Amino acid sequence: MNTINQRKKTMGRKKIEIKKVEKEANKQVTFSKRRSGLFKKACELCILCDVHLDIIVFSPADKIFRCGCSQPSTDAVLKSYIRGTTEFEDQQLMGDSLIYEEYNKEYEEALKVLQMEKKKLADIENLARVSKRGAWWNDSIDDMNGEELEYFMMSIFELKKNLLKKNMNIS
Amino acid sequence: MNTINQRKKTMGRKKIEIKKVEKEANKQVTFSKRRSGLFKKACELCILCDVHLDIIVFSPADKIFRCGCSQPSTDAVLKSYIRGTTEFEDQQLMGDSLIYEEYNKEYEEALKVLQMEKKKLADIENLARVSKRGAWWNDSIDDMNGEELEYFMMSIFELKKNLLKKNMNIS
DNA sequence: ATTTCTATTTATAAGAA
DNA sequence: TTTCTTATAAATAGAAA
């Protein structure tokens, strides 16, 4: 019946190059679609293989999306964590003499030092990076030693800190 | 030539139901393939939309896999450093310019500084958080950010727990 | 745990809503 | 930001290596 212009509504999917989408509008749409697809895949993986998984994404609009595929004991775990954090208050580190602003100063200071150390480490790292073949994130951390794990935990801490800064306006 | 049984090597992909794969061997293969696909998708999303993203997965074999897609992330730098160090020790790829002993010295030194900064930052951050307006985790559940953070903290705790389970000395 | 090989199943780029 | 549609690009189940 439709021999001319009612048969095809779209040209269908097209191949694209994996590189930053410049047009803001398109980037937005692509993000929405692909994030959706990613989370779906993630949930399928969780169900199929009975594993736990977490994804955190910062959208182009600086919004945070998460995908946590598994639900058990969220409360208990969280409470445990909180309990651990609360111990801090018992240490009375928050005396009258120290004001919030001053801490922020120290915080910034420490950050600077940390940045310097990072740069130093990055330099050293560059020397060894030459022979790297696979993507670092594709490796399991199963075989890390204690020190390496410590670094790893610290990197997690960094991420947490960034999250706090980003959302709680701390610092 | 092959009219009977040499033409098709496989039956091709089959539709499956999304539910726990019972056969351990198959589950393992499925996990490997789909995790790979998931990480690939994740990285494409990061590149296409210029966003930051992190994934943590606990494999069926209790291994931890991570995908942190973004460029100058602290996490990436530190992780790369970790991998680089490991590979250095394994392959001795540092040329004549830097001797192994010297490298280790610098490593130990940087490690100490980082440990100190880490603790310092943790303390300061805790102070800032508490002095802000009480525990951030008590924020309304309607607060997206708060919820996200809670979930993230849980993830971190889970990670710690798993590491501890492996008898690692992580605090 | 990762990878090869195909036939199929899925995910999606575009365009518009 | 998510959804709808269609034609096409990609991912992947199953069997083995």
Sorting pLDDT into bands at 50, 70 and 90, what band is A90? very low
pLDDT of residue A142: 39
Predicted TM-score of the model (pTM): 0.52
User: For residues A85-101, b (16+ Cβ closer than 10 Å) or e, as one string?
Assistant: beebeeeeebeeeeeee
> A53 and B54: CB-CB below 8 Å?
no
Q: Between B74-91 and A146-168, two packed helices, what is the crossing angle to 10 degrees?
A: 170
In sequence order, the β-bridge partners of residue A22 are: none
Once rounded to an integer, what is the mean pLDDT over residues B32-52?
89
For residue A90, give how far its alpha carbon lies from the nearest alpha carbon of chain B (Å): 12
Shortest CA–C1' contact from B62: which nucleotide? C1
DSSP annotation of A11 reads -
Q: How far, in Å, CA of A61 to CA of B61, rounded?
A: 37
pLDDT of residue A57: 73
Yes or no: say if A125 and B98 are a contact pair by the CB < 8 Å rule: no
Shortest CA–C1' contact from B59: which nucleotide? C1
| B-chain residue closest to A120, CA distance | B110
Residue with nearest Cα to nucleotide D10 C1'? A15
Higher pLDDT, B74 or A107: A107
For residue A85, which residues of chain B lie inside 8 Å, CB to CB?
A: 126, 135
Q: How far, in Å, CA of B52 to CA of A132, rounded?
A: 23
Once rounded to an integer, what is the mean pLDDT over residues B31-46?
91
Least confident stretch, B2-6, B99-103, B133-137: B133-137
pLDDT of residue B102: 38
Higher pLDDT, B43 or B134: B43
**Is residue A153 over pLDDT 50?**
no
Asked if the C-beta of B5 comes within 8 angstroms of chain A's C-beta atoms, the answer is no
Provide Rg for chain A, Cα atoms.
Answer: 23
Largest CA distance in chain B: 80
Sorting pLDDT into bands at 50, 70 and 90, what band is A119? low
List, for residues A33-89, the tens digit of each pLDDT value. 999 899 899 989 988 998 877 777 767 765 657 675 654 323 232 232 223 332 223
pLDDT of residue B143: 32
List, for residues A125-143, the tens digit of each pLDDT value. 443 333 232 223 333 333 3
Of B130, B132, B149, give the one whose Cα is nearest residue A91. Answer: B130
For the record, the structure tokens of A75 come out as 């409360």
pLDDT of residue B16: 93
Scanning residues 9 through 28 of protein chain A, those with a beta carbon under 7 Å from any atom of strand C turn out to be: 9-14, 16, 26
pLDDT of residue B75: 39
Most confident residue range from A29-43, B49-63, B78-92: A29-43
Start-end of H helices in B134-166: 144-165
Q: How far, in Å, CA of A170 to CA of A163, rounded?
A: 10
Angle, CA B159 vertex, CA B158 and CA B164 arms, to 5°:
95
**Is residue B39 over pLDDT 70?**
yes
Q: CB atoms < 10 A from the CB of B109, how many? A: 12
Q: Is the CB of B64 under 7 A from strand C?
A: no
pLDDT of residue B50: 86
Higher pLDDT, B89 or A51: A51
Chain D nucleotides with an atom closer than 7 Å to a protein C-beta:
1-3, 5-17
> A47 and B170: CB-CB below 8 Å?
no
Q: How far, in Å, CA of B50 to CA of B116, rounded?
A: 33
Interface-testing mutation among A28, A112, A154, with chain B (most B C-beta atoms within 10 A): A154
pLDDT of residue A58: 66
Of A165, A154, A157, A58, give the one whose Cα is nearest residue A108. Answer: A165
Chain A stretch 127-156, residues whose beta carbon is closer than 8 A to a beta carbon of chain B: 127-132, 136-142, 144, 146-156
Of B42, B160, B37, B46, give the one whose Cα is nearest residue A55. Answer: B42
List, for residues B104-140, the tens digit of each pLDDT value. 344 444 445 555 545 544 544 444 443 332 222 222 2
Sorting pLDDT into bands at 50, 70 and 90, what band is A29? very high
